[in-house]
Amino acid sequence: MMEICTFAYLYMLILTVLYCGLGYSEEEVVRASLSDTNEKDPVQCSSPSHCNISSTYGVWPDRTPCRVQSVVYPRTEEELLAAVAAAVQKKQKMKVVSRRAHSIPKLVCPGGHNGLVISTRDYNQHLVIDKQKMR
C-alpha cells in the first residue's frame, strides 16, 4: 500500500510542479489529474473475442499489437473474483490493466491470443489485502 501511496504522491507532485509552472492554479491541477475525459481506454475491442491493448503511447516498442481473447470489466470484488476463478478453471493466462496507468513495455499482454485482460476501468472498490492471512 505504501508503494501505491508514494507513487500517487509523486504523480501529483510532478503534475503540480509542471502545471503550476505553466500558470495553472492548484485547483485546475487537481481537476485535470482526476479527469478521465481526455484519456483513451487502453482496451479497444472490434468484437467480443478480438481486443487490442494499447501502450501509454499508443504503440508498443516492438511495433506488434497486443491481442487478447477477452476483456472483463468487473465493478465489484465478487465480479473480480468470479472472473479470476473462471480464467483459472480454463487455465487461461490473465493480466490486469488500469484505466490510467499501464505499462510502456508489453508487460500487460497475457501472452498469445487466448489471454484474458481484467480492466479496472469500472472497478469502484478498494481491495484490502491481509498479508498475515496469506502466510
Give Cα separations from 41 to 38, 81, 91 (angstroms). 10, 23, 27
Q: How do 70-72 and 116-119 pair as beta strands?
A: parallel
In the prediction, which pLDDT does 62 show?
Answer: 84
Cα angle: 83, vertex 85, 108; to 5 degrees: 55
Residue-wise pLDDT for 65-114, tens only, equals: 888 888 999 998 899 899 999 999 999 999 888 766 566 778 778 877 78
pTM higher than 0.95, yes or no? no
